[in-house]
Amino acid sequence: QLQLQESGPGLVKPSETLSLTCTVSGGSITSASYYWGWIRQPPGKGLEWVGSLYYSGATYYNPSLRSRLTISVDTSRNQFSLKLSSVTAADTAVYYCARHHGIGAVSGHMDVWGKGTTVTVSS
């Protein structure tokens, strides 16, 4: 059974870089026709798609975060990662990783989610 687990610091200082890793177990991150995505949820607010990585390596970012965001994959460790630079308090959120279906540049539903990790931006 496929499982995803987020990991990373729970506290990041303003202006620094937020780094998170999602470890995939029970399946391969190079499986065809899947995206591996990051979604965040600020306290008391709704879900926001952050960005996704297609199994081929192509990346797609939320335009509002594109200038600060990098999503990458480490196939040897079956992990994918998120780096968000120059963070502010507005980046405080629960960050989820998820697998979603898709073909080419068309993405679909997210069927497997991690439990989420809370990141607070504060000095």
Partner 1 sequence: QSALTQPASVSGSPGQSITISCTGTSSDVGGYNLVSWYQQHPGKAPKLMIYDVTNRPSGVSDRLSGSKSGNTASLTISGLQAEDEADYYCSSYTSTTTLHVFGTGTKVTVL
| b (16+ CB within 10 A) / e for 4-36 | bebebeeebeeeeebbbbbbbeeeebeeeebbb
Binding segment toward partner 1, per CB under 8 A, in 20-28, 71-79, 81-89, 99-107: 99-107
Residues numbered 77 to 96 that lie near partner 1 (CB under 8 A) are 96
Token look-up 């687990």 returns 5
If the CB atoms of residues 24 and 102 are measured against partner 1, the closer one turns out to be 102
Q: How far is the CB of 96 from partner 1 (least distance, A)?
A: 6
Token look-up 């990662």 returns 81
Binding segment toward partner 1, per CB under 8 A, in 7-15, 24-32, 80-88, 114-122: 114-122
8: left (phi over 0), alpha (psi -120 to 50) or beta: left
Q: How far is the CB of 31 from partner 1 (least distance, A)?
A: 18
* Distance in angstroms (rounded) separating the CA atoms of residues 112 and 101: 10
Judged by CB under 8 A, does residue 55 bind partner 1? no
Contact positions vs partner 1 (CB under 8 A): 35, 37, 39, 46-49, 52, 60, 62-63, 96, 100-102, 105-111, 113-116
